[in-house]
Amino acid sequence: MPKNPDIKKVLVIGSGPIVIGQAAEFDYAGTQACRSLKEEGVEVVLLNSNPATIMTDKDIADKVYIEPLTVEVVEQLILKERPDSVLPTLGGQAGLNLAMELDEAGFLKAQGVRLIGTTSETIKKAEDRLEFKSTMEKIGEPVAPSLVVESVAEGVSFAEKIGYPVVLRPAYTLGGSGGGIAHSYEELVEILENGLRLSRVGQVLVERCIAGWKEIEYEVMRDAMGNCITVCNMENIDPVGVHTGDSIVVAPSQTLGDKEYQMLRSSALNIISELKITGGCNVQFALHPDSFEYCVIEVNPRVSRSSALASKATGYPIAKVAAKIALGYTLDEIKNAITGKTYASFEPMLDYCVVKIPRLPFDKFISAKRTLTTQMKATGEVMSICDNFEGALMKAIRSLEQHVDSLMSYDFTALDQEALRRQLKVVDDRRIWVIAEAIRKGISYEEIHEITKIDLWFIDKLAALVEMEQALKTQPLTAELLKEAKRMQFPDQVVAALTGKTEDEIRERRFAGGITAAYKMVDTCAAEFEAETPYYYSVYGSENEAEATEGRKKVLVLGSGPIRIGQGIEFDFCSVHCTWAFAQEGFETIIINNNPETVSTDFDIADKLYFEPLTPEDVENVVKIEKPDGAVVQFGGQTAIKLTEALMKMGVPILGTSAKNVDAAEDRELFDEILETCGIPRPAGHTVYTAETAKRAANELGYPVLVRPSYVLGGQGMQIAINDEDVDEFIGIINRIAQEHPILVDKYLVGKEIEVDAVCDGTDILIPGIMEHIERAGIHSGDSISVYPAQSLDDQVKATIVEYTRKLAQSLHVIGMINIQFIVCGQEVYVIEVNPRSSRTVPYISKVTGIPIVPLATKVILGHKIKELGYPTGLAPEAEYIAVKMPVFSFEKIRGADISLGPEMKSTGECLGIAKTFNEALYKAFLGAGIQLPRYKNMIMTVKDGDKEEAVEIARRFEAIGYKIYATRNTSKALSAGGVRNIRIRKVEQESPNILDLILGHEIDLVIDTPSQGVEHSKDGFIIRRNAIETGVNVLTAMDTARALVTSLENTDARKLTLVNIAEVKNL
Amino acid sequence: MKAFLILEDGTVFTGTSIGSKKEIISEIVFNTSMTGYLEVLTDPSYAGQAVVMTYPLIGNYGICQEDMESSRPWPDGYIVRELSRIPSNFRSGDTIQHFLEKHDIPGISGIDTRALTKILREKGTMNGMITTNENYCLEEILPRLAAYTTGKVVEKVTCEKSYVLEGEGPNVALLDLGAKRNIARSLHKRGCRVTVYPASASAEEIIAAKPDGIMLSNGPGDPKECTSVIQEIKKLCQTDIPIFAICLGHQLVALANGADTYKMKYGHRGGNHPVKDLQTGRVYISSQNHGYVVDTNNLDPAVAVPAFVNVNDGTNEGLSYTGKQIFTVQFHPEACPGPLDSGYLFDRFMKMMEVNQNA
């Protein structure tokens, strides 16, 4: 069926800020879909509140609205833009929920707008627990015995009937928010109360626990004619009980025979046919390990994280095909872009093995529970491809960038058999390392399987890796042994450590013996057809298929690896734009990256894509084949920067700022020299290596001081210390993470924090804009509300900032991007950090100012001058809009994480408010972050002594807009003394009713709780904040944020929103 | 022990010997299925060929006896990237290593199966040798490889004498040209009483039993080698008995009706081939295993018209015979291994028989 000619203008809804459970995969899917729609001549209107995405580029859509994802905004947008259709299945659960609300309210029908892709009836059938269950029953597909409950009492009585443990799944939430497994009455009540509240419709499914069964997923496609295919199936190594987003996943399934495979495939096709899905769909199954019994766990009638993974694992572009199907095409009319010969109506055949490992944030949330449950906790993931499972697993492990490179990286050697047996029962992110140790200690496969329920086949594969470790430790390193170790993708570093040799020795031996990496293609068809736009993965002991192409100059672009707190989707935005800019300049582009959720790893972004870990050894293997003319490292975050030195050693020229100068920015002494020469002040500080010298430095500077390791991103390990005890504790934490770099101790200055991104061509600089943080210095820039243009700086200070930026860029010989953070105290400007690379703020500032910063920087890197490119130098004129970038957190997903903000970054994503006035921009930003107030007009304040004065002023303003204020003892005293009416409440440890009862009573809008500086010695604040977050109450931990919020609430006239098409924003 | 795979073009792959140590010469073909290695091994259509599995990890779920598509494995040789060290499946009763040894099937593992597949794709299917003899002599071997033909393999794989699967429904005569078990099972499951005949059965013998329908199975080799079977099929086609044919059976019906077949460059072997039902426009993913195909260029529409076409390469995937109760498909609706999507064709055959009975 050809394209439906009535579809001319489509509204695509994105997924909003990155949160756990909804990450970069939707930018990838949305971007691919928008390009696919534009390819068909359809006008695309895009709505997404997340400015860091590629989909919100004017190159991707025709009209781009970075506005809050609320029903009101979508309605207003539809009235303004008059699209004929809405495509809701590409923006994750957020986009889908929004479209459903509009449809249910009858708005779409009234406006004559249709949902394309999948109908609302279908979405309802798949997402509504009751409808889903009855649909499955109708077509004879088994589901676990379950009941949808709307009250705790109902849940309890059903659980008692089917027996504990039971699984709880709230309806319409993402990443399994609020779900869990309850083993007892108490657990049931706790999880169920929470789940009922989080569900959009107040429903939670209570079902028979099938934990321990195999978890298998199928990605299926269906067109309007009813043709359906499966793109891929995947097997979770972790059995049912761990959210698939937190599981190690392998594709295709490894332990299913054809009978099981086809049984579940047929079931998936039956389901998608009955639901009449048009587009992509994900079906999750639980398969009994010892029979053919199975149940359907869940159906997602949209593109998902799993479909992004399946796309990258197979080469089948699910989002692109889904968009074409939405326009009316059938599968046999859509060309397979990888082969250029076959059609979308075929099933990819893999001749390799794919392993995905989640990137969990426990390095950021040290206090959080590491256990994995049905509630997703991962912020991102890595994928690797190899012709054997062992190799794929080894590559995935080192792609994580969590100081792990083998099955020995987490040390459990101190545990004896008994302790290991206990540890095996713990389901956390280190489980495969525990299993490896259990194998080393002689615990049988069967026993490990009995405890973990992980299939014997996987246990045997882990054993094969352990045996190789043993062989390397105990046997002479023959060419045969080395070959076999490399086939399993043991990195040289690990081989060196096990054999007692140096990494260089191992490398030399390899080259002498011809043991080098070869590259194979992902071609969707197991080599049956020739491929036109394949991508590559490394193997050892096979023929190489990646041929170095000649003719054009070649550039290597290093990606930024898995999405983690501190290094998010922003860097993928930068990598992709840099790649496109190089292509425009006539370069052949090569990307190395390992993140399946990103746009950069889409098959048609670079000329060549290597799906590989980003370690020096893996990069060198690519370099040896491709021999690039240069590499860019300044766009791939710290991941790429860290590879600079290694690239230089390989003889690859670093394009842009040289490695020496990158180092100068990080090396305290070199940097101090530069500052001194330039006459730029910075907070006094010292470089130290031990806790003793750190304390000496701190006392000399005077507390409070900032303590942090050098070479970090996202403020990892950075803390404000107020006394010697704090210093001891922080240094201990820093040293827990392997650190070869020194530790910095700086005087902590209280002032306005200012941030600048600039492009420098060696002579001139261009500063697109100056950003000001709402929160004072001390809160990580990624967690601060950032405002462009800076609102409170006078021209004098601005001029100083521009001057310092120019001097720094010139002294560091920056060619390309530089990011500088300043502290402004009065008229004094101090530099606190310089990063000679692209930063987190680049995407947003590009969009607000209309200056394409990354392409511009790329051209500068290639030798063009800012002036000749037609841009002004110095500070660009301010744009007509004010933009407020608001951090978004995922605290409710991570049990036990402390939510108080500080120098260590904790936010997972961001959203933007853009408007002609500050107040409207601020309101939009809060709205985009999901803070929709007022509701009950009740709030709680409990602030540290230093904040009491400000608390009075802020409380007074809240009181004026009708808030009833509850306060703990000292805060209450301060408020009363300041004449603010308030109700004093008891502390956590005091008898009920106390502050916790109040929070759990569900009628609190807001908690303002500023923790005392340094390590919080009382656990009170922590408990308050956790309980509030888990009850869905907004919690603010900084007075500045609270002031911004009350400002926004006061300005009710700012609530009439004017939607801004940023594709029309012009600066110059 | 080392093993060598020597191709007709002189390429030599060195790997590890698996299964039997004996030396074989065979036609080398590749299969892209990711699951179903046992079904592939026991598919009689592979008689006279050695199979390369493009999926690199084979043997993971061991040997599940009831998944066998015939009583034994048929390929002359088996070529894989890696065999699993342990089988893991609740039904598994054996390891693939032992299974190959037990049935005296030689093989080779640890070779770059993707490189091999690319050679076969680019140069076309060719003959090869698997040997454990390290002192092999190429000059001596290559002419032997070139001379090898699979020959008349149908007679090797067909049943010795006819037998019956009892049932209450229609009587179906199944001509076993190397039938996979699931063909008979698919009919039997639908209630048919299935009489299985050896390939040597005469048309007269089959017609005399007054079947309600005739099923012609899959099988190995060049269809044009089956000269006598073609003669018998001609006679069957002249009756009013509904006929449904799969794969080799489909090719033989075409040849019996004056159409031609030709050898494809490297055939279709796998479980992911899209075929379009020209009657409905629907596309199904099918299981396939064939190296020859019916040439529809000179097909007389008065005799037959294409019913299915391959979406990838446009080759014929099925014929509907004009004015006759005959329809035939190139792919495998019985699956095993592969997708079950086209199982509805057995229902269509059931319907044909029912209509014919009522007529």
Residues A59 and A38 in one domain: yes
Interface test with A, best of B2, B40, B283, B344 (most A CBs within 10 A): B283
Nearest CA to A52 among A574, A456, A454, A490?
Answer: A574
Are B114 and A266 an interchain contact pair (Cβ–Cβ within 8 Å)? no
Q: Which of B27, B69, B232, B334 is catalytic?
A: B334
Are A457 and B84 an interchain contact pair (Cβ–Cβ within 8 Å)? yes
Write down the number of H helices and E strands in chain A: 36, 39
What's the pLDDT band for A1018 if we cut at 50, 70, 90?
Answer: low
- What pLDDT is recorded for position A1067? 57
Answer yes or no: is pLDDT of B227 > 90: yes
Is position A1045 within any domain? no
Chain A residue numbers touching B34 (CB-CB < 8 A) = 252, 261, 349-350
Q: Active-site residue B247, yes or no? A: yes
What's the pLDDT band for A816 if we cut at 50, 70, 90?
Answer: very high
Cα angle vertex A853, ends A851, A857, to 5°?
135
d(CA A764, CA A872): 9
Mapped onto helix, strand or coil, the DSSP state of residue A906 is coil
Sheet holding A938-942: strands in order across? A983-984, A964-967, A938-942, A1006-1009, A1034-1036
Answer yes or no: is pLDDT of A130 > 70: yes
Per-residue b or e along A756-789, where b marks 16 or more CB atoms closer than 10 Å to that residue's CB: bbbbbbbebbbbbbbbbbbbbbbbbbbbbbbbbb
Picking from A349, A456, A520, the nearest residue to B34 by CB comes out as A349
Q: Could you tell me the CA-to-CA distances from A739 to A410, A712, A731 in Å, in that order?
A: 16, 10, 11
Are A527 and B89 an interchain contact pair (Cβ–Cβ within 8 Å)? no
**Does B290 contact chain A (CB < 8 Å)?**
no
- Mean pLDDT, to the nearest integer, of B158-186? 97
B-facing residues of A in 305-364 (CB < 8 A) are 330-332, 341-343, 345-353
Q: Are A644 and A659 in contact (CB under 8 A)?
A: yes
HEC states along chain B? Answer: CEEEEEECCCCEEEEEEEEECCCEEEEEEEECCCCCHHHHHCCHHHCCEEEEECCCEECCCCECHHHCCCCCCCCCEEECCEECCCCCCCCCCECHHHHHHHCCCEEEECCCHHHHHHHHHHHCCEEEEEECCCCCCHHHHHHHHHHCCCCCCHHHHCCCCCEEECCCCCEEEEEECCCCHHHHHHHHHCCCEEEEEECCCCHHHHHHCCCCEEEECCCCCCHHHCHHHHHHHHHHHCCCCCEEEECHHHHHHHHHCCCEEEEEEEEEEEEEEEEEECCCCCEEEEEEEEEEEEECCCCCCCCEEEEEEECCCCCEEEEEECCCCEEEECCECCCCCCCCHHHHHHHHHHHHHHHHHHC
d(CA A964, CA A961): 9
CB-defined contacts A:B, below 8 A = 161
Chain A residue numbers touching B281 (CB-CB < 8 A) = 225
- What pLDDT is recorded for position A174? 53
Q: How many domains does chain A have?
A: 6
Answer yes or no: is pLDDT of A180 > 90: no
Residues A286 and A431 in one domain: no
Picking from A255, A351, A460, the nearest residue to B85 by CB comes out as A460
d(CA B214, CA A440): 61
Whichever domain contains A617, its CATH number is 3.40.50.20
Query: How would you class B176 by CB atoms within 10 Å of its CB: exposed for 0-12, middle for 13-18, buried for 19 or more?
Result: buried
**Does B311 contact chain A (CB < 8 Å)?**
yes
Answer yes or no: is pLDDT of A712 > 60: no
Picking from A262, A343, A445, the nearest residue to B339 by CB comes out as A262
Picking from A265, A341, A528, the nearest residue to B32 by CB comes out as A528
Is position A758 within any domain? no
| Among chain B residues, CA nearest to A458 | B88
- What pLDDT is recorded for position B196? 98
Question: Looking at CA atoms only, how far is residue B333 from chain A in angstroms?
Answer: 13
Residues A560 and A448 in one domain: no
A576-630 pLDDT, tens digit each? 999 999 999 999 999 999 999 999 999 999 999 999 999 999 999 999 999 999 9
Q: Active-site residue B332, yes or no? A: yes
**Does A226 contact chain B (CB < 8 Å)?**
yes
Whichever domain contains A719, its CATH number is 3.30.1490.20
Q: Are A888 and A48 in contact (CB under 8 A)?
A: no
Picking from A290, A343, A349, the nearest residue to B274 by CB comes out as A343
Query: How would you class B204 by CB atoms within 10 Å of its CB: exposed for 0-12, middle for 13-18, buried for 19 or more?
Result: exposed
Are B90 and A289 an interchain contact pair (Cβ–Cβ within 8 Å)? yes
- What pLDDT is recorded for position A726? 83
Residues A65 and A23 in one domain: yes
**Predicted complex: ipTM over 0.85:** yes
A-facing residues of B in 158-177 (CB < 8 A) are none
- What pLDDT is recorded for position A998? 87
Phi, psi of A47 (to 5 degrees): -125, 125
Residues A616 and A628 in one domain: yes
pLDDT mean across residues, chain A: 92
**Does A444 contact chain B (CB < 8 Å)?**
no
Are A257 and B67 an interchain contact pair (Cβ–Cβ within 8 Å)? yes
pLDDT mean across residues, chain B: 96
Sheet holding A630-632: strands in order across? A517-522, A535-540, A608-611, A588-593, A554-558, A630-632
- What pLDDT is recorded for position A701? 92
- Mean pLDDT, to the nearest integer, of A346-375? 92
Whichever domain contains A510, its CATH number is 1.10.1030.10
B316-333 pLDDT, tens digit each? 999 999 999 999 999 999
Is position A945 within any domain? yes
Question: Looking at CA atoms only, how far is residue A561 from chain B in angstroms?
Answer: 27
Chain B residue numbers touching A255 (CB-CB < 8 A) = 60-61, 88-89
Is position A285 within any domain? yes
- What pLDDT is recorded for position A36? 95
**Does A270 contact chain B (CB < 8 Å)?**
no
Percent of chain A with pLDDT over 90: 72
d(CA A817, CA A332): 46
| Among chain A residues, CA nearest to B118 | A527
Residues A500 and A381 in one domain: yes
Higher per-residue pLDDT: A603 or A468 = A468
Is position A284 within any domain? yes
Interface test with B, best of A214, A232, A262, A342 (most B CBs within 10 A): A262
Is position A172 within any domain? yes
- For the beta carbon of residue A551, count every other beta carbon within 10 angstroms: 6
Phi, psi of A558 (to 5 degrees): -95, 130
Picking from B36, B55, B340, the nearest residue to A350 by CB comes out as B55
Picking from B114, B270, B274, the nearest residue to A520 by CB comes out as B114
What's the pLDDT band for A554 if we cut at 50, 70, 90?
Answer: very high
Mapped onto helix, strand or coil, the DSSP state of residue A1018 is coil
Are B112 and A543 an interchain contact pair (Cβ–Cβ within 8 Å)? yes
B-facing residues of A in 539-558 (CB < 8 A) are 541-543, 545
In the numeric block, which tokens belong to residue B98? Answer: 């032992």
A406: part of which helix (H) or strand (E)?
A: none
Q: Which CATH class is domain B2-147?
A: alpha beta
| Among chain A residues, CA nearest to B15 | A541
What's the pLDDT band for A648 if we cut at 50, 70, 90?
Answer: very high
Domain ranges of chain B: 2-147, 154-358
**Does B314 contact chain A (CB < 8 Å)?**
no
| Among chain A residues, CA nearest to B84 | A457
Provide the residue range defining the domain that includes A1025: 933-1037
**Does B61 contact chain A (CB < 8 Å)?**
yes
d(CA B76, CA B63): 19
Is position A137 within any domain? yes
Q: Active-site residue B334, yes or no? A: yes
Are B285 and A347 an interchain contact pair (Cβ–Cβ within 8 Å)? yes
Answer yes or no: is pLDDT of B13 > 50: yes
Question: Looking at CA atoms only, how far is residue B256 from chain A in angstroms?
Answer: 31
What's the pLDDT band for A737 if we cut at 50, 70, 90?
Answer: low
Is position A801 within any domain? no
According to DSSP, residue A19 is labeled B
- What pLDDT is recorded for position A715? 55
Of A726, A748, A770, the last residue of a domain is: A748
Query: Which region among A357-371, A716-730, A935-949 has the lowest average model confidence (pLDDT)?
Result: A716-730
According to DSSP, residue A455 is labeled -
- Mean pLDDT, to the nearest integer, of B232-246? 97
- Mean pLDDT, to the nearest integer, of A949-965? 95
d(CA A560, CA A221): 30
- What pLDDT is recorded for position A738? 47
- Mean pLDDT, to the nearest integer, of A362-389? 92
- What pLDDT is recorded for position A194? 87
Answer yes or no: is pLDDT of A142 > 80: yes
- Mean pLDDT, to the nearest integer, of A687-700? 88
How far does chain B reach from its first CA to its final CA, in angstroms?
65
Phi, psi of A1027 (to 5 degrees): -65, -40
- Mean pLDDT, to the nearest integer, of A401-408? 96
A869-904 pLDDT, tens digit each? 999 999 999 998 999 999 999 998 888 888 888 888
> What fold is seen in the domain B154-358?
Rossmann fold (3.40.50)
Are B272 and A349 an interchain contact pair (Cβ–Cβ within 8 Å)? yes
Whichever domain contains A169, its CATH number is 3.30.470.20
- Mean pLDDT, to the nearest integer, of A525-551? 91
- Mean pLDDT, to the nearest integer, of A793-817? 96
Residues A165 and A288 in one domain: yes
Query: Which region among A291-305, A836-850, A998-1012, B101-115 has the lowest average model confidence (pLDDT)?
Result: A998-1012
Residues A981 and A1023 in one domain: yes
**Does A210 contact chain B (CB < 8 Å)?**
no
Q: Which of B226, B237, B247, B336 is catalytic?
A: B247
Picking from A332, A525, A529, the nearest residue to B311 by CB comes out as A332
